[in-house]
Amino acid sequence: MREIGVKIKELEKRALAHGFSHVSALRAGTLRPRPEVREMCGADKCQHFNKSWMCPPACGPLEENAKLLLGYSDGLIVQTTGDLDDDFDYESMRDAGRLQGRLFASFNKELKGEYRSVLALGNGCCGLCEKCAYPDGPCRKPDEATQSMEAFGLVVSDVCRENGLGYYYGPRTITFTGCYLLK
């Protein structure tokens, strides 16, 4: 298992080589779960509230997630940015999101082979299964499933800014963001 800290620069290079568009070291102390973000989940605009093990309320109380974050000090923020033909280019938006999901899952698998603990927080709802087993059965892929940064109550743009990473890369672009916390 690897030690963190000095290895972050190496991880940044590897993440870029893996295919992510933008990467930055993450200081876990900048992660501040906010109840108002979790409350937005309750509005169910994404239509996943109370329908997935990785979304609220099934993903646990915000207080428990905040305590979990305290066990980490270092990590990595990863982003995939896609170019859009116009502001309504939903196909390119979807493709960029899918690419982020594939890159995120495969890099997560790599990291889990090297570090004793990896907390991967992706973007949006877990999409590993066509239909989540929640609430009738346990998660079918607990070693692969990830919660979103928002489910942890994080304001993604704040996390990026506080760690020296952009969030908006210009007109006709879309960016998907995730992070890995490492022990």
Mean pLDDT of 75-85: 97
- The mean pLDDT of the chain is 92
Q: Where residue 43 falls among pLDDT bands split at 50, 70, 90?
A: confident
State pLDDT tens for residues 62-77. Answer: 999 999 999 998 999 9
Q: Give the β-pairing of 173-182 and 74-83.
A: antiparallel
pLDDT of amino acid 4: 53
Q: Where residue 41 falls among pLDDT bands split at 50, 70, 90?
A: confident
| Rounded CA separation 170/175 (Å) | 10
CA neighbor of 65 nearest in space, from 128, 146, 136: 146
Cβ contacts of 85 within 8 Å, gap of 6 or more: 92, 172
Q: Which long-range contacts (CB under 8 A, 24 or more apart) does 9-17 make?
A: 11/76, 12/76, 14/110, 15/76, 15/78, 15/107
Task: Indicate if the pLDDT at residue 39 is higher than 60.
Answer: yes
Task: Indicate if the pLDDT at residue 90 is higher than 90.
Answer: yes
pTM above 0.75, yes or no: yes
pLDDT of amino acid 5: 57
pLDDT of amino acid 12: 96
Say how far residue 144 (Cα) sits from the centre of its chain.
13
| Rounded CA separation 33/115 (Å) | 24
